[in-house]
Structure 1
Amino acid sequence: MEKSDEKFLDKFFKHPWPVVIVIGLLTVFFALQLPRAQLDNNNYRFVPSNDEARKVSTYIDDTFGSSSFVLVGLERKYGTVFDGEFINLIRKYIEQIEDIEIVGDINSIVSSDYIAGVGDSIVVEKLVPDDFSGTPGEIAQLKERILSWDMYKKSLISDDFTATQVLVPLEIDADDAGRPEVIDSFIRIRDIAREMFDGQAIVYVTGLPVISATINEAVRADLVLMVPLVILVVLLILFFSFRRLTPVILPLLTVLVAVIWSMGAMPLFDIKLSVISTVLPVILVAVGSAYGIHVVTHYIEDMSIKTGLNKDEHRELVVALLRKIGKAVFLAALTTFVGFSSFCFTSVLPIREFGYFSSFGVLASFIVAVTLIPSLLLIRGPKAIRNLSGNKKQADSSGSADSQDALSGLMADVFMAIARKRRFVIFITAVVALISVYGVSKVVIDNIFVEYFRSTTDISRSDRFIREKFGGSKIVSIVAQADSPEILLRPESLGAMDSLNAYLEQRVPEVGKVMGFTDLVKRINQVFNVDESPDGIKAQAPSSAGGDSFGFGFGGEEAGAADDFGFGDFGFDSPETETAAALRTDLSAEDLIALLEKAASSGDNRSLSGDELIRKLEKLLNYRGMSYYEIPTDPERYGKTSSEELQRLVANYLVLLSGNISSYSNDPLEPTAIKTTVQLRALGEADTNRAIGEINQFVKNEFPEDIKITVGGSALVEASLNRLVVQSQLSSVIISLLLVFLIIAISNHSVAAGIIGIAPLTISILINFAVMGFLGIKLNIGTSMVASVSVGIGIDYTIHYIEAYKREYRATGGTGDFLRRTFTTSGKAILINAVSVGAGFAVLILSQFNMLRDLGLLIALTMGTSALVSLTVIPVLLLFFKPKFIGVKL
């Protein structure tokens, strides 16, 4: 340092109390902000609003209504859902939760509407009547109604009849799923279900708002557990390393102040905590202690040599200490700051916010370490630091710290032996690098929100239940758009959409359930053709009778009850026409076999299930209109002469559906956009991408050119997040390595210094990704931070070793035991810091989040590899290349 800097330090620390008071007041100020902290883990917040998948999802929600659902699954432990008492309990449950302010129209087995065709009329009534008492006859009728339409299948009831689903829509924007009032609403929905169905059914609750709420609960639990635990771990490590009270307390005090400052700054700037923020206190406690450790370690060494100091001499010792290690500590803090600042350039908002406040925390840790610790040491005075047994640490007659620390000497001997094996070290390093490159190729990139949690948690079990019993919890929305209703409602347009739906459900294994606008059209078509021949409708002359040209009428007052045609709000039965639609009873054995063979041959393959065979028979015989459960595309089959007549037929159907069908159509009578909802059983991005690829390929090959298809939904937002995570990983690593290279190169006036400085970091990063690849640890929003965090922290070891090497080299001219003295003075501090930081991060193993557990393990690993590479590879590189910057005093 220059003399002006020395004078500044001497004046600055001449009066240490003001420093302590100012830092204390700032700490109190930030601490007062902590009660205002809020949590928001809505997954949509992770993706920027200008992202294409996010914009498409917003458009779909704005056009067809919110896609934010709480899915409540109810599984009967004994028996089926067709139980009168259980069904009435569901009714009571819905009556309670529908009063919650943001809850929309609930879809369930008891709240859905039921449409029946009676002659030429349509009658709408409740699927479960208000006077339902649960008699065997009523149960049988309900079961028959539910089974009459495949749209109910895996949406309201499971295939084995043991489970049902209550879909609770929340009238909110996707961006608001993490708001406190939304979380409170979910908690009420969940708690009421658990209380009401206790002993009657197992309750499973999932959905995006549920995941947000569960993450919030887990974040609180993690903060309560892990912050005290990481403090305890660092405390124990410092205690066993120094066995003195002062060097234990002072570094810990430094990081506690930094944690309060950084966490208090978040609510001050109205930044909400996320799952990533959970790591912030752990990182600052683990990382920030390094600066205090180095200050205290060198202070103990200097005090052990010089005894009997007066107050002024003691202040000169402290100032000289800061001059000696100030550059190394500053560079270590600066490079850590740069490593964390690299996150500020990512598009993933929680990671960017983490970058802002972790950088601020590192800066605070450095400032407090080089101001508060020296001030407290000066206030304490030139007293000898005693160990816990009360004995002073005495220096020997040579004044060498080497002889006073057997552990430091042992470490120096081990690393000296390694440094002598230069060729072997270079060979092993090359082998490790090559193996790591192969491991990197096996890394899987995926960011599955439900996989944040352990498989035994309620949210994981609930999501697994919905995937196994119903269609799945991951949503893809397919929107067909046209310039006019006439184009969109053409038979070929609707036929293409329906063919896509059938293809996805029958041929794409990742798809669990498909339902949409065409299902509604097909259902109405079925209802009004119950009495027709399965071979087609004969052309008829126009009638002057009442009704319209299509012969449709309305079923009196009950017809007006069709006020909600949302998801799952349809059913069909027609007792009045059941006799006409019944199967023939005069079939001979030969006729029956022929009929069965014809039904079997009409399938896509010979392996028809019993249910599929029954459906084929129903179509052959037009049982309850099943031959007409289709989009009308053939004019001759419907007694028409042109596609335009079929289009008008469909338009007339929409009059009958002119209730609330906004979840599938942007206009009840003249739609220019219609929607199909695809539920995926898939978890990972690879499965999701396969399903999306199948959709896009089908659209390319089968859809008319004047129909625009837009694919969006939560599944694509997740896929977009995966892409952003990869971009964030690449950009943050490159930026952090580049900036660290520049800092080391500029501070040493040597490009060689920059190259040597980032060499161990590059090796550590390669090892990190190799371990991820070999162990199957996915690259996600949490583990994507490992590399840059490792750069920010691991560079400390490199800088401290290079500075110690330069200091000892210049002191001896590169002769004698300078290398051993380098290991003696720096080796212990580096290893203590690596163990302290690694153990601090290892606390994350106890997190409720899988990704934070992996993050803790990986950072603990990289701390070890960074420290070992710094103490093995760097000495070999410096001895082998003998760069000029080592011997040149700047």
Structure 2
Amino acid sequence: MDKIYKHPVLIVVIIGIITLFFALQLPRAELDNNNSRFVPDTDPAKVTNRLIDDTFGGSSFILIGLERKYGDIFDAGFLSRIRDFNNWVEAITIVGDVNSIVSSKYIAGVGDSIVVEKLVGDDFTGTSAEIAELKRRILSWDMYRHSLVSDDFAATQILVSLDISDDDMSNRDVADEFLKIRDMAQEMFSGMAEVYVTGLPIISETINESMGADLVLMIPLVILVVLLVLFFSFHRLTAVLLPLLTVVIAVIWSVGAMPLFDIKLSIISTVLPVILIAVGSAYGIHVITHYIEDIGSKSLNAEEHRFLVIALMRKIRKPISLAALTTFAGFCSFCFTKVVPIREFGFFSSFGVIVSFAVSMTLIPALLLLRGPRPLRKVEKKEEAGETNRVVTDVFLSIVRKKRTVLIFTSLIVLISVYGVSKVIIDNVFIEYFKSNTDIARSDKFIRDKFGGSKVVNVVFEADNSETLLMPASLSAMDGLNTYLEKRIAETGKTMGFTDLIKRINQVFNADESPGGIRKNYTVGEGQFDSFGFGGETGLGFGEWDDAGFTDPETMDGYGQAPSVKKDYTFEEFFSILDRAVNSGENNSMNASEFMRSIARQINYEGASYYEIPRDPEFYGKTTPEELQRLVSNYLVLLSGSIDSYSDDALEPRAIKTTVQLRTLGMIDTGRVIQEIRRFTDAMAPENIKVIIGGTALVEEALNELVVHSQLISVFISLGIVFLILGFSNHSIIAGVIGIVPLSISILINFAVMGFLGIKLNIGTSMVASVSIGIGIDYTIHYMEAFKREYIQSHGRGDFLQNTFAASGKAILINAISVGAGFAVLYFSHFVILKNLGLLIALTMGTSGLVSLTVLPVLLLTIKPKFIYREV
């Protein structure tokens, strides 16, 4: 060890150069909270999602809700502003399509003709007649409802689909475009409507913005807290600055190393500086505390001072090495998780712990040697220091001497905690990262309440050939799934897909048919239609129909329709229709809108009787299901060109898709919907149809499962490594067992608090246990070493226990308060999960310290382990 400290100036210079190198890397650090990268590329949910995106187009979109609180959306100036916004957004390179009330088209059958025109004309002036017609059009097709307009007509939605891959979302230039769209929406509709913007791209970028604000606030705050705690504890400037210097260096090295490996900061990485400052200061504190104790008020020359410093480092080398090694083990356990940001955090936090340890063991002694044997300014009176120690010693001695009471009370706490653990909710809700009053949280809630929601599940039906896929049984199963979800599953906000297009064209072509069916041998001719674009890349809208073959807004006649069937109804027939309309509902509580739709189906008003998948050959004048399949194939000729968001091929599809939007928040409710989808498709999909379920909701479900797996793996690895370290260092298995008991109790209490307070186990709080093990073990090691040292020195005689508390009690409490206070600053974070993380770790630091000073000594006194008692 003499050789290490022979050239203290060289140590300072080397550490300074390395620190400067890493500091120069800091400007290259980038933020990235693209949720797709949270899950590994090999995860089945992510693989499936990419396969669906490659087939039907990307599933990234921005949702913009516009609410007119004191009016409705039928205002000429307001609709004109939406048109201007559409034009502006469409010019952005990454935008695939923009779907809104002014960009969607309206298609209807009139007699033997088809009319295609804009849903809202360019000459819309907002007269009563125009508003009534627009409302009628919107109500005539369910595709508009909860997608473009709210039920009360006070809000409309603009869906901006993005022509980007998951990896593109991490690109800084692309991410800037997201924010540009959000800010332009706020600017253009200011004063006209309340603007709500959400969607995963916006959520990710909002996290990035808040992260930057967090780092600016919390790093100085945690430094200030640690400074104050240390100053009021030691009243010495040296004891404050040197430990702090080591952790600042560790932060620079750790964060600076991330750009070197092309690793971007995530929401988890935000706490890295806070953790290293709070945790890493402990090693420096140990060095300075023992230095102050050893030098006291001695007057030493340079050589004597050098000998004292080297002897000091020899004395504390083992306990500090063990503390660093066990903390390293706690953070290193994160390296084995599949959750990418947590794994990255594990790598760089482990590196930071080693740096803190290495710098504390080299730089601090080097600086002390360079400083020389000058006496330290001592503010605290010896009597005051002794009084503090006496109070701490007396309190814990009085507790520990009541061994039976401690064991009974601890057992009771454990039992209560086990019950609390059973109440823990496992759920990772991205929007719940934010406070409920933030713009992004309010926006997401608005979209859930008024429209379809921002979570997406894609259901794909796949077959070996298009004939099988287009059979009535296949299409009816997909359409039945949509109906089942919307009618029976409350969490479903909106379903849209391939079958909606088939039903609409079927309705339009049979608008003037009899509600009782089509005469036999009726056929639909094959018109040549170039485009019928519902949807764009996301499949969540209606897209552009500008080149629909039936020229907008002219009419096209013929196409083999049967002659129109019109009928005048008698009074009795009319009431019979009303009766059938009422009884055709699934329940007796139909609202007015549902009742009118039922009447429309009874009389085939505007083809309402035919808004269905053709499944009954006789009803359509056919004799076999194969003929209905060919009828649908003819419809695809009319739709060909722009249905790639729902079909892998315009004319002969072998894969078709339906999109389910969910109003759910977390994966508990989302998981129930996904389970219902699986049950329905298992029961109803034909055997020759392969059902594939994907979407962002499935990726989030996978993340939820990985969080749980990560929690279990990291905790067991942490405890296992701590057990081995303590066992080997003391040459005793019992030492390992005794050492992990206080940690296990603290972890149990942590989860119990989560259960009782309703704090969810998510990507943030899943880190609490392993971080607490890595840090809390310091208190166990410190006390066990002090207990062993004092017992051996006293030969088991006298009140060695009092000496143990005098030597370690105050130090453990100071360390626990310092680290806990450092983590408590996370309460000022913009993110709820980081607030919870900080408070839970602060709580666990307190419980770890208290358990180490109460339960641990009782166990040592009761068990009398040989690794301590045999030494005497």
Q: The residue matched to 1:11 in structure 2 has which SS?
A: coil
Contact residue 786 and residue 859 of structure 1 kept, 8 A: yes
Q: Which amino acid aligns with 1:500?
A: L
Deviation of the 1:594 alpha carbon: 3.2
Query: Which residue is 1:513 aligned to?
Result: 494
C-alpha contact 1:478 1:711 (8 A) present in aligned 2: yes
Distance 2:809 2:77 in 1: 73
Deviations 1:543-592 (A, max 9, x none): xxxxxx524546xxxx6564565443289999999xx999978653x544
Tell me how far apart the structure 2 counterparts of residues 133 and 28 of structure 1 sit (CA, whole Å).
66
Q: Does 1:371 align with 2:344?
A: no
1:497 corresponds in structure 2 to 478
**Amino acid in the other structure paired with 1:211:** I
- The 2-side partners of 1:456 and 1:446 are apart by 21
The AA in structure 2 aligned to 1:526 is Q
Contact persistence 1:16–1:379 (CA under 8 A):
yes
Per-residue Cα deviation, 1:521-559 (whole angstroms, up to 9, x for no partner): 000000010110001111147xxxxxxx524546xxxx6
Q: 1:399 matched to which residue of 2? A: none
Q: Which residue of 2 aligns with 1:455?
A: 436
C-alpha distance in 2, partners of 1:11/1:576? Answer: 95
Corresponding residue for residue 548 of structure 2: none
Question: Superposed, which structure 2 residues align to 1:587-606 within 5 Å?
Answer: 587-588=570-571, 591-606=573-588
1:815: Cα distance to partner?
1.4
**Mapping of residues 192-203 of structure 1, within 5 Å:** 192-203=184-195
In the alignment, structure 1 residue 248 sits paired with structure 2 residue 247:
no
Residues in 2 aligned to 1:144 and 1:110: alpha-carbon distance in whole angstroms: 16
> 1:545: which partner in 2?
none
Query: Which of 299, 303, 318 is the matching residue for 1:308?
Result: 299
**For each residue in 1:761-788, what CA deviation from the matched residue of structure 2 results, as whole angstroms up to 9, or x when unmatched?**
0000100111111111000000000000
Decide whether the 8 Å contact of 1:103 with 1:170 is kept in 2: yes
- What is aligned with 2:693? 711
Match status 1:346 vs 2:337: yes
Aligned to 2:27: 35
2:419 maps to 1:438? yes
| In structure 1, C-alpha distance between the alignment counterparts of 2:535 and 2:669, rounded to whole Å | 31
- DSSP 3-state at the match of 1:662: coil
Residue 205 of structure 1 aligns with an amino acid whose one-letter code is V
Pair 1:252–1:888, CA change in 2 (3 A): farther
Give the match for residue 734 of structure 2.
752
1:550 corresponds to 2:524: yes
RMSD: 2.1
Pairing partner for 2:106 from 104, 110, 114? 114
Distance 2:564 2:854 in 1: 86
Give the counterpart of 2:151 among 151, 156, 159: 159
Give the Cα–Cα distance (whole angstroms) in 2 for the partners of residues 176 and 802 of structure 1: 52
**Would you say how many aligned residue pairs link Structure 1 and Structure 2?**
857
**SS at the partner of 2:464?**
coil
| Kept after mapping to 2: 8 A contact 1:453/1:850 | yes
Residues 511 and 678 of structure 1 are in contact (CA less than 8 Å); yes or no, is this contact kept in structure 2?
yes
- The residue number in structure 2 matching 1:791 is 773
CA deviations over 1:734-789 (Å, ceiling 9, x no partner): 00100100001000111111111111000001001111111110000000000000
- Further displaced range: 313-322 or 65-74: 313-322
Give the deviation of 1:135 after TM superposition.
4.7
Partner of 2:375: 384
Residue 569 of structure 1 aligns with which residue? Answer: 542
Shift of residue 122, structure 1, vs aligned partner = 3.7
Distance 1:194 1:592 in 2: 51
- Within 5 A, what are the aligned runs for 1:527-546? 527-540=508-521
Q: Find the aligned partners of 1:184 and 1:267 in 2 and give their Cα distance.
A: 20
Aligned-residue sequence identity (percent) comes to 65
- Residue 659 of structure 1 and its aligned partner are, at CA, apart by 2.1
Name the CA distance, whole Å, in 1 between partners of 2:565 and 2:697.
43
Name 1:323's counterpart in structure 2: 314
Partner of 2:85: 93
User: Conserved in 2, the CA contact under 8 Å of 1:479 and 1:676?
Assistant: yes
Alpha-carbon distance between aligned partners in 2 of 1:348 and 1:176, rounded to the nearest angstrom:
20
Any idea what the Cα deviations from partners look like across 1:621-650, whole Å, max 9, x if unmatched?
A: 100000000000001101111111111100
- Give the CA deviation at 1:596: 1.9
Alpha-carbon shift at residue 502 of structure 1 (Å)? 0.6
Which amino acid in structure 2 is aligned with residue 767 of structure 1? I
Q: Is the 8 A contact 2:49 2:696 kept in 1?
A: yes
Alpha-carbon separation, structure 2, partners of 1:177 and 1:601: 51
Partner SS state of residue 659, structure 2: strand
- Asked whether the equivalents of residues 565 and 659 of structure 1 are also in contact (C-alpha less than 8 Å), the reply is no
Q: Is the 8 A contact 1:16 1:378 kept in 2?
A: yes
The 1-side partners of 2:748 and 2:535 are apart by 55
- Over 3 Å counting, the alpha-carbon distance change for 1:666 and 1:822 in structure 2 is same
**How far off is 1:15 after superposition?**
2.4
| Cα distance in structure 1, aligned partners of 2:387 and 2:568 | 100
Q: Distance in 1 between matches of 2:737 and 2:534?
A: 68
1:146 aligns with 2:138: yes
- Deviation of 1:326 after TM superposition, in Å, equals 1.1
CA contact (8 A) 1:158 1:469 kept: yes
Alpha-carbon deviations, 1:704-755, whole Å to 9, x = none? Answer: 1001111111111111101000000000000010010000100011111111
Question: Secondary structure, in 3 states, of the residue corresponding to 1:150?
Answer: coil
**CA distance 1:581–1:247, change in 2 (3 Å):** farther
**CA distance in structure 2 between the partners assigned to 1:484 and 1:746 by the alignment:** 65
Preserved CA contact (<8 Å) 1:581 1:623:
no
User: CA-to-partner distance for each residue in 1:49-68, whole Å, 9 max, x for gaps?
Assistant: 11111111111111100100
C-alpha distance in 2, partners of 1:560/1:28?
63
Match in the other structure for 1:691 = 673
Map 1:824-863 → 2, pairs under 5 A: 824-863=806-845
Question: Offset of 1:229 from its aligned partner?
Answer: 0.4
CA distance in 2, matches of 1:240, 1:755: 36
- The letter of the residue matching 2:169 is A
TM-superposed CA distance for 1:595, in Å, is: 2.4
How far has the Cα of 1:316 moved from its partner? 1.2
- 1:335-388 per-residue CA deviation (whole Å, 9 max, x = no partner) reads 000110000000000000000000000000001111111111111111221135
2:705 counterpart of 1:723 = yes
The answer to whether the 8 Å contact 1:433/1:763 transfers is: yes
Contact 2:159–2:541 at 8 Å: present in 1 too? Answer: no
Note the alpha carbon deviations across 1:829-877, whole angstroms, 9 max, x for none.
Answer: 1110100000000001111111111100100000000000111111111
Q: Which residue of structure 1 lines up, in the alignment, with residue 206 of structure 2?
A: 214
Which residue is 1:614 aligned to?
Answer: 596
CA contact (8 A) 1:445 1:778 kept: yes
Contact 1:117–1:573 (CA under 8 A) maintained in structure 2: no
Specify whether residues 403 and 464 from structure 1 end up closer, same or farther in structure 2 by C-alpha distance, changes over 3 A only: closer
Q: What's the secondary structure of 1:205's corresponding residue?
A: strand
| Structure 1 residue 776 corresponds to structure 2 residue 776 | no
For 1:130 and 1:658, the matched residues in 2 are separated by: 27
Is 1:807 aligned to 2:789, yes or no?
yes
The answer on whether the counterparts of 1:40 and 1:178 sit within 8 Å (CA) in structure 2 is: yes
Structure 1 alignment gaps of length 5 or more: 1-8, 395-401, 542-548
> Counterpart in 2 of 1:682?
664
Question: Unpaired runs of 5+ in structure 2?
Answer: 546-551, 558-562
Aligned ranges 1:174-213 → 2 under 5 Å: 174-213=166-205
Match of 2:463 among 445, 462, 482: 482
Q: Which whole-Å CA distance do the structure 1 matches of 2:384 and 2:231 have between them?
A: 21
CA distance in 2, matches of 1:625, 1:605: 24
Q: Deviations over 1:283-326 (max 9, x none)?
A: 0000001111111111111112x611111111111111111111
Give the corresponding residue for 2:216: 224
Q: Secondary structure at 2:116's aligned position in 1?
A: strand
